[in-house]
Amino acid sequence: MKRAWLLVLPFLLTACPALHMRVDNERIAKIRTVAPFTFRSNRAVLPPVSSELSSTSDPWLLAGDAVLRSGIPGFVKALENAERFKLVEPDRVLHAKSYAAFPAALSGMEATNSLLAPGGWRHVMANEAEPIANVLEEIDADAALITYWRFSLDMGATGPVGAMETATAHAHLRAWLVGRDGAIAMDDEIDTPSQEPLPIRNGRYDRAEIAPAFDDIMITCAVRLAADISNAQSRAKEKG
């Protein structure tokens, strides 16, 4: 997929309304440094019509952790280009001693439906005020960025007999910014569908063919998230 269009995204998306966004104006205005704390997603990308599937562990499915492993570098890079805040290097979070207080894996029903990104990322929830504050204090950052993802495919074109021939990638992001006081400064929801058709054959897809589409869509989510944070900070300053 050609990526030149990504260069104009900051200009196209700054006025794009979020699906859902709640902001604490006083807290968001004070944030200068943001540290990524967790990446969590659904276990696998199912085709649009998946009634015949018995398990999300079918070997031909694209696993959520594979999407995250491939897409996180681009997501991080896009956030590093934000103008109103600085992104803390992920390694500083992963290597912080206090970060070990968070679970290294999901458990129970959460583990059945979701997973964490590989590479040492831990499970962090937005309401875990004290351990979040401890890590932020250790790495000297203003806010923790917590991201939960849902990756899916939407139905595209169908053939002469009604069989699905293409699908499009879709990402839904729920993101929280939690400050050093343990309070939520921002709760954002971003829904990003792709327009790029991806081939579907006999109800299945080829992982190698669809994976790059999710890389691109995670970058788009990052640009939109950066715009939401920047715009919220601008509005907070105007009101303050």
DSSP of 71-115, one letter per residue? HHHHHHHHHHT-SSSEEPPHHHHHT-GGGGGS-SS--HHHHHHEE
**Residue 201 tokens, joined:** 């054959």
Give the β-pairing of 86-87 and 33-42: parallel
Whether residue 71 has pLDDT greater than 70: yes
* Structure letter (DSSP) for residue 142: S
Looking at every residue in the chain, the average pLDDT score rounds to 89
Q: What is the mean pLDDT of residues 218-228?
A: 97
Handedness of CA 17, 23, 29, 34 (dihedral sign): negative
Whether residue 84 has pLDDT greater than 80: yes
Phi and psi at 157, nearest 5°, equal -80, 150
Q: 4-47, pLDDT tens digit by residue?
A: 334 334 433 433 445 589 999 999 999 999 999 999 999 999 88
Q: What is the CA radius of gyration of the chain?
A: 19
CATH superfamily of 20-49+60-239: ABC-type transport auxiliary lipoprotein component (3.40.50.10610)
Residue 35 pairs in a beta bridge with: 144
Q: 159-207, pLDDT tens digit by residue?
A: 777 778 999 999 999 999 999 999 999 999 999 999 999 999 888 899 9
The residue ranges of every structural domain in the chain are 20-49+60-239
Q: How far apart are CA 219 and CA 224, in angstroms?
A: 9
Which pLDDT belongs to residue 51? Answer: 44
How far out from the chain centre does Cα 151 lie?
Answer: 9
* Structure letter (DSSP) for residue 102: S
Q: How far apart are CA 61 and CA 78, in angstroms?
A: 27
Mapped onto helix, strand or coil, the DSSP state of residue 184 is: strand
